[in-house]
Structure 1
Amino acid sequence: MIESHPLKGIKVIELANVLAGPAVGMFLAELGAEVIKIENRLNGGDMTRSWKLSTEKKDVPISAYFSSINFGKDYLDKDLNNALDHKEVLDLISEADVLINNMKGSSSRKFGLDKDSLRKINERLIHAELTGFAGENSKVGFDIVLQAETGYLSMTGTDKEAAKLPVALIDVLAAHQMKEGILLALFLRERDGRGSHISCSLEEASLSSLSNQATNFLMQGFVAGRMGTLHPNIAPYGEVVRTKDLKEFVLAIGTQGHFERFCEFLGLGQLLKDERYADNQNRVVNRIGLHKLLQSKVSLLDSEEFEKACDSLKIPVGRIKNLDEVLTSAVAEGMILEEKIENIPTKRLKTVAFHMHR
């Protein structure tokens, strides 16, 4: 919980659509900023207005997808090819603190929204520019394209089929990078009064998040493949086990202590003396056989008994829950934000997940 709105008085212009840019705008709005979202009148506004589930009403001007990353904003329809609209947008930017822009570079230059042009009309402006790919690469950068181009789809799913990440994670990662950049730029502006130009591509945000998978290759030449839920460095980690009442749990046995306690709990203490399973590296090599042994014991236990015992022994396991169960939990319900957009009731989860008290 934020005790107050720390960005109250900050004015943000959002010239962005789809997910990454609007997610940044929503984050700033949650923190108290005034956010004005400018949409392209010629093509019906943000394209996600039309990204509807088959069950959504066709005659409603927004979608659940659009609502997920638009909250606390004012909305304006403008045509930048129209001289009056163009001037109004530039006037808004001249008085703004932050501009979020994910237009193509050529379009930004055409409309005087490039960094050099904007610096002339507002030296204090923090100009946050999102692109799909780094540098001058003009390839269209939708999230799943980046999942493919930066290796994620080569590591998700199974050997039979790739699996798309169930949320637009690359957009989310790029949004986090841009949020950090904007907050840093606001901090620096307090020191010297100068604005900043921040650029971030989905490609670089995605690459920076490859984390241990990237380092496995850079240090050991190991190329990660499709392993489902499994972890290339740890076992049993990512293995899914099923209890007697057919509830599924994922294992996250990250230390030798976890493994020892887990084996003792399941009555498999003999595995600790078996060379195939005695240490983590051998368990990674022999994980298929290990999984079968663990499953044979877990299948004798009810889910409540299994989960309670693991929790008491500090053995990390997670019950695989459906979204309806997740979103009716007390924590999730406490994160729901509601408002009307164009007189239509909407709901989404807040993007500010940290708590700050002073």
Structure 2
Amino acid sequence: MPEAVFKDMLVLELASVLAGPSVGQFFAELGARVIKIENAATQGDVTRSWKLKTEDPETNVPAYFSAVNWGKTSLPLDLTKAGDLQQLYTLAAQADVVIASYKPGDAEKLKVDFASLQKINPRIIYGHITGYGPADARAGYDAVVQAESGFMYLNGQADGPPTKMPVALVDVLTAHQLKEGLLVALLQRARTGQGQLVQVSLLESAVSALSNQGTAYLVAGQNPQRMGSEHPTIVPYGSVYTSKDQKQLVLAVGDDRQFRRLCQVLGAPDFAEDPKYSTNYYRVQHRQEVNAQLCRLIAQQERETLLQALHRQHVPAGAVNAVAEVFALPQAQHMLLHAAGAKPGIRQVAFKLAEQNLSSLSPPPVYTAPE
């Protein structure tokens, strides 16, 4: 059995909420020892208090906190106290990576910024998440950045209001950016022996992820608008249809061959031969007509029977699943973390290497106030 990738690595997590802690769990899954430094003055990570109405009001390990805190040990410290700060410095002298999510200037006030820790350990790699970059002191909040970066404006029905994504999308994107930056810094340190500062902001991560919607404006001069689940340049792609048994499915027909196969499965091959619909370019021009016809045809089919027929013909299509249904999928089952006496968690590592040993992880740590 191969050893875990980061078996001998020590990671200090000076971060809270979602983005930074998910990076900490990522390293824990790959074998690193991760110590979550929690603010003793505020009873730890703020998400320990974010509870669903169905959860025990006394728990300090609720579902939200459990999303990204597997495999860590919790160390409550009040960094405004000299003794606690020295305890952190002792750990920093041995650490490989620090993950921080302070507002610009706050880490310097606490003397736990990169410059301070680099004096203790020149090899340390310091990943710092901010909302808007080091020159803007505003705190970063996912919902606000979703709004400012265009995601809320683009999300929702055409005749409805801007809508926040139901997951903290910008936090998730920022976490991936920080993982990439830290891995590059680790590679460079292996060559040079020197640590460095890795900076990432929520806003820049969100802008990076605007992808084709961003270039629709930059390249084509079109300011994208809300379209529900529709795709601006492909039809039918992302549209939701209802089957005969009142179940929903989505199509993602990326080329004209797939569209012809779709129409064959639906018993309407002539529809794909009509010049108004035979190519994606013309289907985009006649989006409403295409969708109306597909709605009618799909409403005559049982969902599971139709999906199986489409899969056999390699037509991209899938059921619209509730979260409870997602975790019945075998691929989702492979992504679960298990520990005795704990509810399942979700892995942050979704890739597989030829030789990879993912560590068995302890469940999210309970917060124990220091004496």
TM-score, normalising length: structure 2? 0.92
Aligned to 1:204: 204
Matches within 5 A, 1:1-358: 3-158=2-157, 159-339=159-339, 345-358=342-355
d(CA) in 2 for partners of 1:264 and 1:61? 55
d(CA) in 1 for partners of 2:339 and 2:67? 11
**CA contact 1:3–1:357 (8 Å) conserved in 2:** no
d(CA) in 1 for partners of 2:161 and 2:106? 38
Q: Cα distance, 1:3 vs. partner?
A: 4.3
Q: CA RMSD in A?
A: 1.5
d(CA) in 2 for partners of 1:93 and 1:103? 17
Letter of the 1:309 counterpart: A
Q: Cα distance, 1:346 vs. partner?
A: 3.9
Q: Which is further off, 324-333 or 240-249?
A: 324-333
Q: Cα distance, 1:14 vs. partner?
A: 0.4
Instruction: Please give the per-residue CA displacement for 1:77-103, whole angstroms capped at 9, x wherever unaligned.
Output: 110111100111122112111000111
**CA contact 1:68–1:347 (8 Å) conserved in 2:** no
Higher RCO (C-alpha 8 Å, min separation 6): 2
SS in 2 for 1:216: helix
Q: Cα distance, 1:75 vs. partner?
A: 0.4
Q: Which is further off, 55-64 or 106-115?
A: 106-115
**CA contact 1:78–1:85 (8 Å) conserved in 2:** yes
- Give the count of matched residue pairs: 354
Unpaired runs of 5+ residues, structure 2, are: 356-371
d(CA) in 2 for partners of 1:156 and 1:63? 29
SS in 1 for 2:69: coil
Instruction: Please give the per-residue CA displacement for 1:36-59, whole angstroms capped at 9, x wherever unaligned.
Output: 000001111100001100010111
**CA contact 1:67–1:347 (8 Å) conserved in 2:** no
SS in 2 for 1:105: coil
d(CA) in 2 for partners of 1:74 and 1:346? 18
Letter of the 2:80 counterpart: N
d(CA) in 1 for partners of 2:130 and 2:79? 20
Letter of the 1:58 counterpart: P
**CA contact 2:13–2:37 (8 Å) conserved in 1:** yes
Letter of the 2:130 counterpart: T
Taking only the aligned residue pairs, the percentage that are identical comes to 41
d(CA) in 2 for partners of 1:232 and 1:136? 35
Instruction: Please give the per-residue CA displacement for 1:69-125, whole angstroms capped at 9, x wherever unaligned.
Output: 001111011101111001111221121110001112221111222222222111000
Q: In structure 2, do the counterparts of structure 1 residues 347 and 272 end up closer, same or farther at CA, with 3 Å as the change threshold?
A: closer
Instruction: Please give the per-residue CA displacement for 1:306-328, whole angstroms capped at 9, x wherever unaligned.
Output: 11110111111111111111112
Unpaired runs of 5+ residues, structure 1, are: none
d(CA) in 2 for partners of 1:190 and 1:160? 51
**CA contact 2:243–2:302 (8 Å) conserved in 1:** yes
d(CA) in 2 for partners of 1:97 and 1:239? 47
Q: Cα distance, 1:278 vs. partner?
A: 2.3
**CA contact 2:125–2:186 (8 Å) conserved in 1:** yes
SS in 2 for 1:308: helix
d(CA) in 1 for partners of 2:40 and 2:313? 59
**CA contact 1:71–1:339 (8 Å) conserved in 2:** no
d(CA) in 1 for partners of 2:281 and 2:332? 38
Q: Cα distance, 1:294 vs. partner?
A: 1.1
SS in 2 for 1:220: coil
Q: Which is further off, 324-333 or 73-82?
A: 324-333
d(CA) in 1 for partners of 2:339 and 2:20? 20
d(CA) in 1 for partners of 2:171 and 2:41? 25
TM-score, normalising length: structure 1? 0.95
